[in-house]
Amino acid sequence: MTALNATHDPKLRSWVASANEAGCDFPIQNLPFGRFRFAGSNEAFRIGVAIGDQVLDLRAAGLVDTDDMNALMEAGTKERQALRAAISAGLAEGSDKQAAWSKALLAQAEAEMTVPCRIGDYTDFYTGIHHATTIGKLFRPDQPLMPNYKWVPIGYHGRASSIGVSGQVFKRPQGQTKAPDAAEPSFGPSKRLDYELELGFFIGRGNAQGEPIAIADAEEHLFGVTLLNDWSARDLQAWEYQPLGPFLSKNFASTLSPWIVTMEALAPFRAKFERPAGDPQPLPYLDSAPNRESGALDITLEVLLQTAKMRAEGIAPVRLTRGNTTEAAYWTAAQLVAHHTVNGCNLQPGDLLGSGTLSGPKADEAGSLIELTLGGKQPITLPNGEKRTFLEDGDTLVMRGWCERDGAVRIGLGEVTGTVV
């Protein structure tokens, strides 16, 4: 686990004035990485770090000699920490870099962002126990959780090619569905389109095939965290997922925040990983003292919705839910890495691990509409009188995440928006 150092000092301020504003997602204590270019240009995407409402071009600032984000992610922990320290020192008030680095800043409002790195492989896990339990009750009232759930991190191989960055607009997926009372399936657009509130964990340094990553070393291979919306067509999923799991119901689109908040930045917001009394403890390869002490992340997550009608009338998105990851996730990021590689699987820089839907124990902490509406049986009513069971064309879904704790400066994960048409 990353120890606290000078880059986390709550008294630290930046010469970029917007980074010092209360509630800012990107103060100098954060410094998340992304890829950007000037909006409307055809130039190559470059590596940037968010600071306030600006983005710092790392190559223009003389901090890196590459535009390859994956190469930067592959660097060892000491190299990454040294780069973070150099960026922090250069952006701090009183730095002699201010004059030079001011020329390497671009307003985020003038930047076009893309996915933060090349994503070669994507694995989606199922760590949200409250989500898994609620969904299980809808289909298996007598056995909401399968017998393996509390023993093994469940996951499936997802589709990397359809992952987009915040602002993604995608067409409603089509496929086969089958009504319970129908003799045979029918084909058409999904009528039960849903969102899934997730975290995405990016791999930094990979491992050789056949060489598992021990849980004690797992965080050395984690580069950082992003927000992830793994859109789901629930009606397609219900018909196709047996016996091999999700396919067309998941691979049409997934949306990421443009920023990766590094594990170093998250150091002040770690939490104990504790299993409820009576639950089985993880097997030895999934267990370690550091993981129990501070393997969890303390991140607040919220979901907002803006319908096409709301947008036309100038009504801001309305919040659907808000919750916290400490109550939602049954497995830590380190456990996901250890389990993913225990059979010899080789992870590579830029690989993405999804947490699965992160729902809290309360109804207003749900991470999907299928939970909020109990499978579509209880529509939600929006402040303007519109009702929703699942997403309709023109709906824009907004996800936000942030960390705040006494003795530390609040940092944010940015925002993820996506619109179905």
Residues 6 or more apart whose CB falls under 8 angstroms from that of 159 comprise 122, 250, 251, 254
pLDDT at 141: 86
Same domain, 220 and 322: yes
Q: What is the chain's Cα-based Rg? A: 21
Residues 6 or more apart whose CB falls under 8 angstroms from that of 34 comprise 47, 48, 49, 50, 55, 113, 116, 258, 259, 260
- Kindly state the DSSP code that residue 144 receives in the 8-state scheme: S
In the residue annotation, 131 being an active-site residue is answered as: yes
Burial class (CB in 10 A: 0-12, 13-18, 19+), 329: buried
Taking Cα atoms as reference points, which of 233, 285, 281 lies closest to residue 254? 233
Domain boundary (114, 143, 160) is at 114
Same domain, 90 and 139: no
Q: Does residue 1 belong to any structural domain of this protein?
A: no
Q: Does residue 416 belong to any structural domain of this protein?
A: yes
Residues 271, 282: Cα–Cα separation, whole Å: 17
Q: Does residue 11 belong to any structural domain of this protein?
A: yes
Same domain, 134 and 102: no
Domain boundary (114, 149, 170) is at 114
Q: Does residue 257 belong to any structural domain of this protein?
A: yes
- Kindly state the DSSP code that residue 94 receives in the 8-state scheme: T
pLDDT at 10: 97
SS3 193: strand
pLDDT at 416: 98
pLDDT at 16: 98
Taking Cα atoms as reference points, which of 312, 351, 15, 326 lies closest to residue 160? 351
pLDDT at 397: 98
Asked whether the whole model's pTM tops 0.75, one would answer yes
Q: Does residue 210 belong to any structural domain of this protein?
A: yes
Q: Does residue 218 belong to any structural domain of this protein?
A: yes
CA atoms within 13 A on the CB side of 167: 8
Domain boundary (114, 149, 179) is at 114
Same domain, 228 and 83: no
Domain around 35: 6-114
pLDDT at 388: 98
Q: pLDDT tens digits, the chain, 421 residues: what are they?
A: 678 999 999 999 999 999 999 999 999 999 999 999 999 999 999 999 999 999 999 999 999 999 999 999 999 999 999 999 999 999 999 999 999 999 999 999 999 999 999 999 999 999 999 999 999 998 888 889 999 999 999 999 999 999 999 999 999 999 999 999 999 999 999 999 999 999 999 999 999 999 999 999 999 999 999 999 999 999 999 999 989 999 999 999 999 999 999 999 999 999 999 999 999 999 999 999 999 999 999 999 999 999 999 999 999 999 999 999 999 999 999 999 999 999 999 999 999 999 999 999 999 999 999 999 999 999 999 999 999 999 999 999 999 999 999 999 999 999 999 999 9
pLDDT at 130: 96
CATH of the domain at 286: 3.90.850.10
> 414 with 227: CB under 8 angstroms?
yes
Same domain, 206 and 288: yes
Given the DSSP bridges, would you call strands 300-306 and 105-107 parallel, antiparallel or unpaired? unpaired
Q: Among 131, 221, 339, 340, which one carries the catalytic annotation?
A: 131
65-96 in b/e form (b: 16+ CB < 10 A) is eebebbebbbbebeebbebbebbbbbbbeeee
Same domain, 150 and 228: yes
CATH of the domain at 94: 2.30.30.230
Q: Does residue 272 belong to any structural domain of this protein?
A: yes
